[in-house]
Amino acid sequence: MAFLGDYHTHTTFSRRGAKKHAIGSVLDNAFAAKKAGLTELAITDHGFCHYYGIDGDKAFDKLKIACMQAEALTGVKIYAGLENNLDPRSGKNKALPALMECTPETIAKLEIVQGGYHAMVGTPTIFRNMLFWARNVIFKFLPGRKKLIARNTEAYKRAIDEYPIDFIGHLNRGILADAVEVAKYAHSKGVYIELNGRHKSLTKKQIKKMAAAGVQFICNSDAHNPKDVGTMPIAVKLIKQCGIPYSQIANWDRLPDFRSQNFISARRQKNGEVVDG
Ligand SMILES: [Zn+2]
Ligand SMILES: [Zn+2]
């Protein structure tokens, strides 16, 4: 009985110029995954709009090649992805894309799609984003929070509707949304809710309600260092404390069924490309 995959890990592609935000290379993470007994791994470096985000589409192309090479060398199946950033303003402003980095060109390149809110994002500016974050923290205790929660919940739902998101990373971390409502909606669309190995973003009460509603979870390390790949102490603790049945953990003793894969094969079929399998 074990986790078979880790679908949220970072490499030195998460950086700002010469300043690296994570320690290992794609190959380092792949070898770490193999050592941890995993059969699948995803590299989901920070999206373009993050302060330490991967440096544009060209850098992502390099990441994808590194993933293919590491897969050939280690035998671990590797998905090339991004930690795509949710734009909370999109809950109110329908003209804004719900996921910032997901232009059709970028989406077309992703092999796994992670979506979620993140601090340290420079859209519209890092300062404005920090103000938003502060507002969420302060509003937790104010009557006006209902409006903010409704708007943020809507932003998550829009992202699920408009993009082939496979899982939502650290739901509610630094943002106020109705996490249970988002999780139920995600479940109805075949989207997993992450139990993050390094950050606790959901309360036990919320997790228990989600589990009772049949929500499917996925546990990921969010490793920024190869030594953490495949390790998810906080998620393991929450599974036990909340009594989540292991049948509701998508990467426990089985491999997840990512909905973006259907999206990708449908697109390839539409384009007249040969679809295997
Ligand atoms: Zn990070
Ligand atoms: Zn991350």
Instruction: Provide the CATH number for the domain around residue 243.
Output: 3.20.20.140
- Judged against a pLDDT cut of 90, whether residue 274 lies above it is answered with no
Would you give the distance in Å from CA 69 to the centre of its chain? 23
Distance of CA 170 to the CA centre of its chain: 7
Is the pLDDT at 261 greater than 80? The verdict is yes
Ligand 2 centre to CA of 253 (Å) is 23
Distance 249 CA to ligand 1 centre (A): 24
Please tell me the distance between residue 97's alpha carbon and the centre of ligand 2 in angstroms.
21
Residue 276 lies in a domain: no
Contacts of 151 by beta carbon, 8 Å cutoff, 6+ apart:
88, 91, 92
- Give the lowest-confidence range in 37-41, 162-166, 261-265: 261-265
Residue 277 has pLDDT above 50, yes or no: no
Average pLDDT over residues 160-176: 95
pLDDT digits (tens, 9 = 90+) for 12-49: 999 999 999 999 999 999 999 999 999 999 999 999 99
194 strand-pairing partners: 218
275: in domain: no
Nearest to 237 by CA among 204, 210, 214, 206: 204
Q: Tell me, yes or no, whether 239 lies in a domain.
A: yes
Other Cβ atoms closer than 10 A to 150 = 16
Percent of the chain with pLDDT over 70: 97
Taking the C-alpha atoms of residue 33 and residue 24, their distance in angstroms, rounded to an integer, is 12
Residue 19 included in any domain: yes
pLDDT band at 234 (very low <50, low <70, confident <90, very high): very high
Query: Lowest-confidence range among 52-56, 106-110, 177-181, 232-236?
Result: 106-110
Ligand nearest to the CA of 115: 2
How many independent structural domains does the chain possess?
Answer: 1
Q: How far is the CA of 127 from the centre of ligand 2 (A)?
A: 20
Per-residue pLDDT at 108 exceeds 90: no
How far, in Å, from the CA of 178 to the mean position of ligand 2? 21
Can you give the pLDDT at residue 243? 98
Name all contacts of 119-128 with Cβ < 8 Å and 24+ positions apart. Answer: 119/174, 120/50, 120/51, 120/52, 121/47, 121/49, 121/50, 121/51, 121/85, 122/49, 122/50, 122/51, 123/49, 123/85, 123/87, 126/51
Q: Is 75 left (phi over 0), alpha (psi -120 to 50) or beta?
A: left
- Distance from Cα 112 to the centre of ligand 2, integer Å: 14
Q: Average the pLDDT over 229-245 and give the result.
A: 98
Residue 145, in any domain of the structure: yes
Question: In terms of residue numbers, what domain contains 252?
Answer: 5-270
**3 state SS of 75:** coil
Closest ligand to 119 CA? 1
176 within domain boundaries:
yes
Contact predicate 50/16, CB 8 Å: no
| Rounded distance from Cα 53 to ligand 2 centre (Å) | 11
Spatial CA neighbour of 166 closest among 114, 218, 110: 114
Ligand nearest to the CA of 14: 1
Does the pLDDT value for residue 238 go beyond 90? Answer: yes
Calculate how far, in angstroms, residue 95's C-alpha sits from the geometric centre of ligand 1. 28
What's the CA-to-centroid distance between 110 and ligand 1, angstroms?
19
Neighbour count for residue 217 (Cβ, 10 Å): 26
Q: Structure pTM?
A: 0.93
CB-proximal residues (5 Å) to ion ligand 2: 83, 222
Instruction: Tell how far the Cα of 21 is from the centroid of ligand 1, in angstroms.
Output: 7
* Distance in Å, CA 124 to ligand 1 centroid: 19
Radius of gyration over every alpha carbon of the chain, rounded to an integer in angstroms: 18
Give the ligand whose atoms come closest to the C-alpha of residue 197.
2
Could you tell me if residue 277 is inside a domain?
no
Question: Which residue intervals of 21-178 are DSSP H helices?
Answer: 26-35, 56-74, 104-109, 126-139, 145-162
- Per the prediction, the chain carries an average pLDDT of 93
CA distance 127 to 162: 27
pLDDT digits (tens, 9 = 90+) for 83-98: 999 999 999 999 999 9
Residue 172 CA to ligand 1 centre (angstroms): 16
Q: Whose atoms come closest to the Cα of 9: which ligand?
A: 2
Closest CA to 257 of 216, 213, 197: 216
- CB of 106 within 8 A of CB of 57? yes
